[in-house]
Amino acid sequence: MKNRRIFLKSVALASAGLAVSSPSNVFGAIGDEAPFTLPNLLFATDALEPFIDKMTMEIHHGKHHKAYIDNLNKAVLTNDLAKGKTLDQLFGITGQLPPLIRNNAGGHFNHSLFWTLLSPAIGQVPGPKFSELIAKSYGSFDKFKEEFAKTAMQRFGSGWAWAVLADGKLSICSTPNQDNPLMDVADTKGFPVLALDVWEHAYYLKYQNLRADYVKSFWNIINWETVEARIIEHQKAKH
Ligand code: MN3
């Protein structure tokens, strides 16, 4: 039984594209009563200072993300369609799910991914795979940054900005609320390789209404190793 659980966990991780750099406990076993658990951060809550402050990280991870998980675990128990499914399976039928499950399943996945995409600012640069993809689709890294920032700024209210891979091409999109490009309901579908949370709870304590400053600071704390690993993982899965 234990082995089966471990196996199911790794299947769930691989299919949701989080296997590369996540601790093994992000998703629970199918059939567990409370299958989803809060992943540990891979860095200290003050490690992203001065770009993201300690208190924002503590509340964002320990309160907001945890609440999505707690609400999701409760909600799936009373929904026959959602019960026992992995996040990946839920994203395949999001259009048939109640908003409570859609929002909290998205919230859990999006934040689990987001934490792995952040890293203390120590001069990381984009890897060769990512650089090749942006050269093809955007010409230069500066142009990509400009387009990504524009998309993040144009998301009205709460949501996310994404860079996704689809048909071997990189593109930029955004989603409202806690939707993501893996969901059947997404306008632009694809495999997310970069994500930015533009909900006010992600930046308001430090940046208040200045979302543009928060978006600008993001470039200092991207874990490009994770981005590169996700591209390689996705390209492997396609061949
Ligand atoms: Mn958030």
pLDDT digits (tens, 9 = 90+) for 60-69: 999 999 999 9
The Å distance, Cα 220 to ligand 1 centre, comes to 19
Is the pLDDT at 148 greater than 70? The verdict is: yes
The verdict on 66 and 132 lying in the same domain is no
User: For position 100, which CATH number holds?
Assistant: 1.10.287.990
Q: Which two tokens stand for residue 224?
A: 């490009």
The verdict on 136 and 233 lying in the same domain is yes
The Å distance, Cα 143 to ligand 1 centre, comes to 26
The verdict on 100 and 134 lying in the same domain is no
2-39, pLDDT tens digit by residue?
Answer: 333 433 343 344 444 444 333 333 444 444 445 799 99
The verdict on 58 and 106 lying in the same domain is yes
Rounded CA separation 130/227 (Å): 7
Look-up of token digits 């750099």 = 21
Mean pLDDT for the stretch of residues 181-200 = 97
The answer to whether residue 74 sits within a structural domain is yes
The Å distance, Cα 124 to ligand 1 centre, comes to 23
Sign of CA dihedral 27, 32, 38, 41: negative
Compute, in degrees rounded to 10, the torsion defined by CA atoms 191, 215, 131, 141: 140
What's the DSSP call for residue 150? H
The Å distance, Cα 50 to ligand 1 centre, comes to 18
Percent of the chain with pLDDT strictly greater than 90: 81
114-138, pLDDT tens digit by residue?
Answer: 999 999 978 789 999 999 999 999 9
Mean pLDDT for the stretch of residues 76-99 = 94
The Å distance, Cα 179 to ligand 1 centre, comes to 12
The Å distance, Cα 61 to ligand 1 centre, comes to 8
Is the pLDDT at 213 greater than 80? The verdict is: yes
The answer to whether residue 48 sits within a structural domain is no
The Å distance, Cα 239 to ligand 1 centre, comes to 33
The Å distance, Cα 197 to ligand 1 centre, comes to 6
CA distances from 211 to 44, 48, 85, 183, 216 (A): 24, 17, 35, 26, 9
The Å distance, Cα 99 to ligand 1 centre, comes to 17
Rounded CA separation 130/224 (Å): 9
Mean of per-residue pLDDT scores for the chain? 87
The verdict on 9 and 107 lying in the same domain is yes
The side-by-side arrangement of strands in the sheet containing 191-197 is: 169-176, 159-166, 191-197
The answer to whether residue 44 sits within a structural domain is no
The verdict on 112 and 205 lying in the same domain is no
Residue 205 near residue 211 (C-beta atoms within 8 A):
no
User: For position 190, which CATH number holds?
Assistant: 3.55.40.20
The Å distance, Cα 222 to ligand 1 centre, comes to 16
Residue 226 near residue 20 (C-beta atoms within 8 A):
yes
Cβ burial of 63 (10 Å; 0-12, 13-18, 19+) is exposed
Look-up of token digits 């299947």 = 11
Residue 34 has a pLDDT of 53
The Å distance, Cα 5 to ligand 1 centre, comes to 29
Sign of CA dihedral 53, 54, 58, 59: negative
Count of domains for the chain: 2
Rounded CA separation 95/114 (Å): 23
- Residue 171: domain span: 128-237
Cβ burial of 112 (10 Å; 0-12, 13-18, 19+) is buried
The Å distance, Cα 208 to ligand 1 centre, comes to 15
